[in-house]
Amino acid sequence: MNATDEVKIEMNTAITTNQRLVTILLILLIILVALLVIGITVSFFMPGSMMGGGMMMGMNGQMMNNMMAACADMMRDIQSH
């Protein structure tokens, strides 16, 4: 076996290692996207289970006014420093 054969073998192992890594990363990416989609659909169809749907559905006018006042106070505090 001469030097060029060893280089070819090393390149083949590097390519298969890269392909393995890319495959693992693609599988992880697909799993994360699937979990994200499942979480969004669950929060959309079950209001009250997560903050998104339930908080907006149950928010009345007084609570909204209190939140706006708290935000305005925080902005004033930040600007005064």
In a structure prediction context, what are the per-residue pLDDT tens digits for the chain, which is 81 residues long?
555 656 566 666 666 778 889 999 999 999 999 999 999 888 778 765 545 444 555 556 777 788 888 888 888 888 876
**What pLDDT sits at residue 53?**
47
**What pLDDT sits at residue 28?**
97
> Going by C-beta distance under 8 Å and a sequence separation of 6 or more, which residues neighbour residue 36?
none
Q: Where are the domains of the chain?
A: 3-80
**What pLDDT sits at residue 22?**
92
**What pLDDT sits at residue 75?**
85
Place of tokens 């298969």: 16
Q: Is the pTM of this model over 0.75?
A: no
Contact 42, 49 (CB under 8 A): yes
